[in-house]
């Protein structure tokens, strides 16, 4: 008898526990709703309680656990671990991020602003993932991190650098997770409207110019990104790890 040359098919645990950072608005909310529609339990993280409570209240028939936490604060991250109370995590979606306020004048102001940006976009994902790493399902755990088109072409001062850092860190993490059957992938969105990223109105002031850069002639939507995240967290994506999936309407071409 010959041994199979592939890992056994994983029996999916139902319902899956899915941790989503930045789950109250924009892409994070769409990601949470995609998993809720598939019957998952969602642990919804973000600094503000109100958008997270709204997500929970809008889905009374689903299981949404709200844990307000500033993920740049290690103590807050440890409270997330406590809130999980030893439950295995099937999927971790590192989505929280954003561009902060403009720097104060001078080098000190610049340093402060760059640090905030790196904390919010890179270290928040690193801290949360490290804290939840022992809880990830083995085999079958999934980590999906939201980077940005800015990682490829710059933008936002330290923002593009922080988002590029997520890709390098994701490669290391994928190597760590491989032997345990954990996949780690990155989704790199282009311009996505209907989020709080650019403004509370959900659009960039450069909306028309950003749409014109796409081959498909439209902005992305949070659900475009949620679909990609959901796929990478699926059983079908079980042999995809250490990859970056661009979801940008063709604004930057892959190779």
Helix, strand, or coil here: 143?
strand
Between CA 208 and CA 4 the distance in angstroms is 52
Among 97, 100, 140, 249, binds ligand NAP (CB under 6 A): 97
Q: Which is nearer to ligand NAP, 47 or 59 (CB)?
A: 47
Annotated catalytic residue: which of 114, 159, 191, 231? Answer: 159
* Interaction between residue 124 and ligand NAP (CB under 6 A): yes
Q: Return the ∠ at Cα 130 (arms to 128 and 133), rounded to 5°.
A: 105
Q: Which is nearer to ligand NAP, 140 or 248 (CB)?
A: 248
* Interaction between residue 20 and ligand NAP (CB under 6 A): no
* Interaction between residue 117 and ligand NAP (CB under 6 A): no
- 191 counts as catalytic: no
15 prior amide bond cis, ω within 30: yes
Residues whose CB is less than 8 angstroms from the CB of residue 222 and which lie 6 or more positions away in sequence, other chains included: 26, 27, 29, 30, 31, 192, 194, 195
Q: Which is nearer to ligand NAP, 35 or 197 (CB)?
A: 197
Between CA 26 and CA 28 the distance in angstroms is 6
Between CA 31 and CA 36 the distance in angstroms is 9
Among 53, 81, 83, 98, binds ligand NAP (CB under 6 A): 98
Q: Which is nearer to ligand NAP, 137 or 158 (CB)?
A: 158
* Interaction between residue 96 and ligand NAP (CB under 6 A): yes
The interface mask with ligand NAP, positions 189-208, x = CB under 6 A, is x-xx--xxx-----------
The interface mask with ligand NAP, positions 32-71, x = CB under 6 A, is -------------xxxx--x------------------xx
Backbone angles phi, psi at 253, to 5 degrees: -90, 145
Shortest Cβ 231–ligand NAP spacing (Å): 17
Q: Return the ∠ at Cα 125 (arms to 123 and 131), rounded to 5°.
A: 100
Q: Which is nearer to ligand NAP, 7 or 49 (CB)?
A: 49
DSSP, res 179: G
- Counting Cα atoms < 13 Å in the Cβ hemisphere of 45 gives 26
Q: Which residue is nearest to ligand NAP (CB)?
A: 26
Residue 43 β-bridge partners: 19, 65
Residues that bind ligand NAP (CB under 6 A): 21-22, 24-28, 45-48, 51, 70-72, 95-98, 120-121, 124, 146, 148-149, 189, 191-192, 195-197
């Amino acid at each position: 008898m010959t041994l199979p040359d592939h890992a056994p098919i994983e029996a999916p645990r139902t319902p899956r526990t899915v941790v989503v950072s930045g789950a109250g608005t924009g892409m994070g909310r769409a990601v949470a709703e995609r998993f809720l529609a598939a019957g998952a339990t969602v642990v919804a993280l973000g600094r503000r309680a109100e958008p997270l409570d709204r997500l929970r209240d809008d889905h009374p028939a689903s299981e949404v656990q709200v844990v307000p936490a500033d993920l740049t604060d290690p103590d807050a991250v440890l409270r997330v671990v406590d809130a999980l109370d030893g439950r295995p995590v099937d999927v971790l979606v590192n989505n929280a991020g954003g561009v902060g306020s403009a720097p104060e004048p001078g080098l000190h102001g610049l340093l402060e602003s760059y640090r905030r940006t790196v904390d919010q976009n890179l270290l928040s994902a690193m801290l949360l993932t490290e804290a939840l790493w022992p809880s990830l399902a083995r085999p079958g755990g999934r980590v999906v991190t939201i980077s940005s088109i800015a990682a490829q072409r710059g933008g936002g001062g330290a923002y593009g650098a922080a988002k590029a850092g997520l890709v390098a860190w994701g490669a290391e993490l994928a190597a760590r997770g491989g032997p345990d059957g954990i996949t780690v992938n990155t989704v790199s969105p282009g311009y996505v409207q209907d989020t709080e990223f650019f403004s509370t109105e959900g659009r960039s002031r450069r909306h028309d110019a950003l749409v014109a850069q796409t081959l498909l002639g439209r902005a992305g939507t949070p659900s475009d990104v949620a679909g990609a995240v959901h796929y990478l967290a699926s059983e079908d994506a079980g042999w995809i790890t250490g990859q970056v999936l661009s979801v940008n309407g063709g604004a930057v071409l892959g190779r």
